[in-house]
Chains A and B, each alone.
Chain A
Amino acid sequence: MASVTLEGVTKSFAGLTVVQSVDLAIAEGEFMVLVGPSGCGKSTTLRMIAGLEETSGGTIRIGARDVTQLEPRERNIAMVFQNYALYPHKSVRENLAFGLKMRGTGKAEIEQRVARAAAMLKIEPLLARKPRQLSGGQMQRVALGRALVREPDVFLFDEPLSNLDAKMRVHMRDEIARLHREVGTAMIYVTHDQVEAMTLGDRICVMKDGVVQQVGRPLDVYDRPANTFVAGFIGSPEMNFADGEIASEDGRPVFRSGPLALPLDGARQGAALEPGQPVTLGIRPEHLTVAATGLPARVLHVERMGAESVLQLDAGVGLRALVDRDDGVEEGDTIHLAAPANRLHLFGRDGLALGGAGR
Chain B
Amino acid sequence: MRSRYDWVIWTFFWGGLALTALFVGGPVLNAIWLSLHQASSFIAEPKFVGLGNYARVVQEPEFWSAMANGLIYALSAIVLQVVIGIAFAMVLNQPFFGQRLVRGLATLPYLLPTVVVALTFQWLADGSVGLLTVIARDLGLGTIPWFEQPATARASVILASVWLWTPFVTICVLAGLQSIPPALYEAAKVDGAGPVSIFFHVTLPQLKPVLTVVVLLRAIWMFNKFDVIWLLTKGGPLGATEHLPILAYKRAFSLFDVGGGAAVATVSFLILMAAVSTYLWMFPLEEKR
Q: Which residues of A contact B (CB under 8 A)?
A: 50-52, 71-73, 77-79, 81-83, 85-90, 98-99, 102-103, 132, 146, 150
Q: Which residues of B contact A (CB under 8 A)?
A: 181, 183-184, 186-194, 197, 201-202, 205-206, 208, 288-289
Q: Does B192 lie within 8 Å of A103, measured CB to CB? A: yes
Q: Does A77 lie within 8 Å of B197, measured CB to CB? A: no
Q: Does A78 lie within 8 Å of B190, measured CB to CB? A: yes
CA distance A1 to B21 in the complex (A): 70
Q: Provide a sorted-by-A list of 5 A–B residue pairs whose CB atoms are within 8 angstroms.
A: A52-B190, A81-B186, A83-B181, A87-B188, A90-B205
Given the complex, which residues of A lie within 8 Å of B206, measured CB to CB?
88-89
Known contacts A87-B202, A88-B289; A102/B192 CB under 8 A: yes
CA distance A9 to B208 in the complex (A): 40
Q: Does A83 lie within 8 Å of B183, measured CB to CB? A: yes
CA distance A194 to B194 in the complex (A): 37
Given the complex, which residues of B lie within 8 Å of A51, measured CB to CB?
189-190
CB distance from B176 to the nearest CB of A (A): 13
Given the complex, which residues of A lie within 8 Å of B186, measured CB to CB?
50, 52, 72, 79, 81, 85
Known contacts A98-B201, A132-B289; A85/B193 CB under 8 A: no
CB distance from A54 to the nearest CB of B (A): 13
Known contacts A81-B186, A87-B184; A73/B193 CB under 8 A: yes
Q: Does A73 lie within 8 Å of B192, measured CB to CB? A: yes
Q: Does A81 lie within 8 Å of B193, measured CB to CB? A: no
Contact of B187 among A71, A85, A89, A103 (CB under 8 A): A85
Q: Does B289 lie within 8 Å of A73, measured CB to CB? A: no
B288 nearest CB neighbor, chain A only: A132
Given the complex, which residues of A lie within 8 Å of B288, measured CB to CB?
132
Among B189, B190, B193, B288, max chain A CB count under 10 A is at: B190
Given the complex, which residues of A lie within 8 Å of B188, measured CB to CB?
87, 98
CB distance from B211 to the nearest CB of A (A): 13
Known contacts A72-B190, A73-B191, A102-B191; A89/B205 CB under 8 A: yes
Given the complex, which residues of A lie within 8 Å of B181, measured CB to CB?
83, 85
A50 nearest CB neighbor, chain B only: B190
Given the complex, which residues of B lie within 8 Å of A99, measured CB to CB?
190-192
CB distance from B201 to the nearest CB of A (A): 7
Please name 17 further chain A to chain B contacts, defined as beta carbons within 8 Å, in addition to the given A72-B186, A87-B188, sorted by A numbering.
A50-B186, A52-B189, A72-B190, A79-B187, A81-B187, A85-B183, A87-B184, A87-B187, A87-B201, A87-B202, A88-B206, A88-B289, A98-B191, A98-B193, A99-B192, A102-B192, A102-B193
